[in-house]
Amino acid sequence: MRRWTPACGQSPMPRLTIRAILEVERQVSSVTVSYVPISAPTNHGDPHSRLARWAVRLSVVFGATAVTSIGAVAITHAVGAESAVEDTWLGWFLGYVALAGFLGSLGTFLGAMVAKIRRERWTLLWLPLCLFPVLLTFLVLGEAFWWE
């Protein structure tokens, strides 16, 4: 049997000696592991932005004011007491409250749009995003078909 010999330019295979094995073991045991810190949000209570929280809260308030004033006018018309709200201070007040709710819902709609553009993922953001178009549709359809 022929013994292996290195070809021209190749180095001979190193022999593993006990000294080499102990040296490798010493180098491996001296390796330290450093942990990489994971970036976690520091605000554990509420992960949503301030803008998104304000948009949702204000849309609840403005939606409630608009629905309440429109509902009060609708009830008086359904009962047949139109004179209680037509051409009185109560009618003007309910009209201004409904207008404030409509304009406030526009503000919350814009705030929610900015939050969505910033990639805020919160299901409740659909409330201010839907409230303004619903009130606008109600106003347009009401003006076209129900009111004079």
> What are 8-23's pLDDT values in tens digits?
555 555 566 777 777 7
Tens digit of pLDDT for each residue in 59-80? Answer: 999 989 988 888 888 888 888 8
Cβ atoms within 10 A of the Cβ of 141, count?
11
Provide CB contacts within 8 A for 59, sequence distance 6+.
105, 108, 109, 112, 127, 128, 131
Q: Tell me the pTM.
A: 0.59
pLDDT band with cut points at 50, 70 and 90 for residue 5:
low
Phi, psi of 42 (to 5 degrees): -85, -20
* 10 backbone dihedrals φ, ψ, rounded to 5°: -95, 145
